[in-house]
Amino acid sequence: MRFGVNYTPSQGWFHSWLDLDHAAIARDFAQIAGLGLDHVRIFPLWPIVQPNRTLVRSAALREIREVVDLAGEAGLDVEVDAIQGHLSSFDFLPSWLATWHDRNMFTSPDVVGSLADYVRAVSSSVADAPNLLGVSVGNEVNQFAARPHPHPHEAAPAQVTHWLDAMIGAAREGLGGAAPAAGVTHSMYDASWYDDRQPFLPDHAAELGDLTVTHSWVFNGAAQRHGPLGSGSVRHAEYLLRLSAAWHRDPDRRLWLQEVGAPTNVVPVDDAPEFVERTVRNAATVPGLWGITWWCSHDVAGSLADFPPLEYDLGLLTSDGEVKPTGRRFAELAERRDELVPTTGPGPALVLDDSDPATYRAQLGPGGSFFEAWNAAASETGAGPRVVLRSRLAEGLDLDARGIVELRPVAVAAPEPIDVLHPAVTPTPAL
């Protein structure tokens, strides 16, 4: 299993793309490699690379490749994200998509075509890098597609399918004949599983791209309801992975836990190393898990303003490069990764009633009937149960191929009201 980290530059955060300091980046990568990790995920800022709809800056593309090469010198493979998009509560939309040029990033034909050109160019710039792990369309772009974003670029699910097909196709064209280990992927934050307003659907994660990508954060009500080390918190990543796998038509499709972190607004600092340990060990029980990429490498420096408080303490290392207790624990798990084996024996599965496509997701999030039933079953058995969709059963799902020997229906109940806000700007709900 791959162990890596989402790379947050220690000097200047992602604003460092404005003025790259190769020595600082090389130092960061050496510190990451020193933890025994094997890859990083990098985030070139979209408006810097494509400041005009028909201009993709060749100098910016060269800089992306330089960062990939610097990682290679440290022995690290690299996942390159294209559309940034959104990072840590800040939106990075180019000026040609806003205000006087306001257009929909998912449905305007001119914008979709230009975005495809951008993704293709980024992919092409790194296609022959020997340490290229893969290319991702972007970081949680689904947060732009619906409320609670203050200015959503609304789209229907069919339009999202068209958009993702265009972006994934462009990335593959840019890669040419290259076949990196992680291929081409896209990522969504968990509202796509928990919020019925989202036009980005679980089907998109499970059917488009070369791996199914999962991002897990417990400040969405999970930790508030279950406590920092309760089942709903330390099994949240596992739950999302098993939920994602329920949409797989191919039982051997791979899963990537591409973002997971220990947010100190709901996980006290003293509990964070144990949260890391239990989260990783529980996630590793899921068959098909290809890798875990922690968020993030380095803390945001305290000199930078206006970040949500938790962002200043999410790193495995401080902004000065000191390894934190969470970093030591994650490094220990990476060193012992051969001990982390999936649970493949026969077991039960909870049946998710997805018969009403307009409302079924309300039961999946923290406080929803399915979420709570899954956690209760996990607590009873010591292992998280598998999940199957009622619609897949009707299609004749091969239960033997998934090791399922018992089906347990879950009674659907009206969930407690819960608004899945975007993670970094979500106020901490009262217990």
Q: Decide if 28 contacts 35 (C-beta within 8 A).
A: no
Answering whether pTM is above 0.85, one says yes
Look at the chain and report how many structural domains it folds into: 2
Same domain? For 78 and 57 the reply is yes
Beta strand 86-87 with 90-91 is antiparallel
Going by pLDDT thresholds of 50, 70 and 90, the confidence category of residue 294 is very high
Same domain? For 182 and 270 the reply is yes
Q: Is 269 domain-assigned?
A: yes
Same domain? For 331 and 352 the reply is no
What is the average pLDDT value for the chain, to the nearest integer?
94
Token pair 């305007």 is at which residue?
Answer: 108
Q: Decide if 232 contacts 222 (C-beta within 8 A).
A: yes
Same domain? For 384 and 319 the reply is no
Please return the burial class of 14, using the count of CB atoms within 10 Å of its CB with bins 0-12, 13-18 and 19+: buried
Domain boundary among 339, 360, 379: 339
Going by pLDDT thresholds of 50, 70 and 90, the confidence category of residue 427 is very low
Mean pLDDT of 382-406: 92
Structure tokens at 301: 């420096």
Same domain? For 389 and 298 the reply is no
Residue 66 CB partners (closer than 8 Å, separation 6+) = 20, 22
Mean pLDDT of 134-152: 96
Mean pLDDT of 401-422: 73
Domain boundary among 307, 322, 339: 339
Distance of CA 306 to the CA centre of its chain: 23
Same domain? For 198 and 69 the reply is yes
Structure tokens at 170: 């462009």
pLDDT of residue 422: 44
> Which alpha helices (DSSP H) does 50-93 contain, by range?
58-73
Q: Decide if 187 contacts 204 (C-beta within 8 A).
A: no
Q: Decide if 43 contacts 81 (C-beta within 8 A).
A: yes
Q: Is 306 domain-assigned?
A: yes
Helix (H/G/I), strand (E/B), else coil: 113: helix
Q: Is 303 domain-assigned?
A: yes
Q: Is 132 domain-assigned?
A: yes
Mean pLDDT of 196-207: 96
Structure tokens at 100: 């006087």
Same domain? For 330 and 364 the reply is no
Q: What would the pLDDT profile of 125-136 be if each residue is shown by its tens digit? A: 999 999 999 999
Going by pLDDT thresholds of 50, 70 and 90, the confidence category of residue 380 is confident
Token pair 């070139």 is at which residue?
Answer: 44
Same domain? For 310 and 396 the reply is no
Q: Find, among 255, 318, 276, the residue nearest to 11 by Cα.
A: 318
Give the C-alpha separation, 362 to 92, whole Å: 29
Does residue 428 have a pLDDT over 70?
no
Residue 4 CB partners (closer than 8 Å, separation 6+) = 37, 38, 39, 40, 41, 76, 77, 79, 291, 292, 293, 294
Question: What is the phi/psi pair of residue 392, to 5°?
Answer: -70, -35
Mean pLDDT of 70-81: 98
CATH number at residue 59: 3.20.20.80
Q: Is 431 domain-assigned?
A: no
Q: Is 171 domain-assigned?
A: yes
Does residue 418 have a pLDDT over 90?
no
Give the C-alpha separation, 90 to 92, whole Å: 7
Does residue 420 have a pLDDT over 70?
no
Going by pLDDT thresholds of 50, 70 and 90, the confidence category of residue 414 is low
Going by pLDDT thresholds of 50, 70 and 90, the confidence category of residue 144 is very high
Q: Find, among 336, 236, 334, the residue nearest to 286 by Cα.
A: 236
Domain boundary among 296, 323, 339: 339
108-140 in b/e burial notation, b at 16+ Cβ within 10 A?
eeebbebbbbbbbbbbbbbbebebbbbbbbbbb
Mean pLDDT of 289-295: 98
Cα separations in angstroms, 358 against 90, 201, 366, 421: 30, 11, 18, 19
Residue with more model confidence, 418 or 6 = 6
Question: How many Cβ atoms sit within 10 Å of the Cβ of residue 404?
Answer: 18
Mean pLDDT of 302-324: 96
DSSP string, 353-389: ----TTTGGGGTSTTSHHHHHHHHHHHHHSSPPEEEE
Domain that holds residue 375: 347-425
Q: Which of the residue ranges 24-38, 61-75, 357-371 would you say has the lowest mean pLDDT?
A: 357-371
Mean pLDDT of 54-76: 98
pLDDT of residue 368: 94
Same domain? For 304 and 405 the reply is no
Q: What would the pLDDT profile of 1-55 be if each residue is shown by its tens digit? A: 999 999 999 999 999 999 999 999 999 999 999 999 999 999 999 999 999 999 9
pLDDT of residue 430: 28
pLDDT of residue 416: 60
155-170 in b/e burial notation, b at 16+ Cβ within 10 A?
beeebbbebbebbbeb
Does residue 319 have a pLDDT over 60?
yes
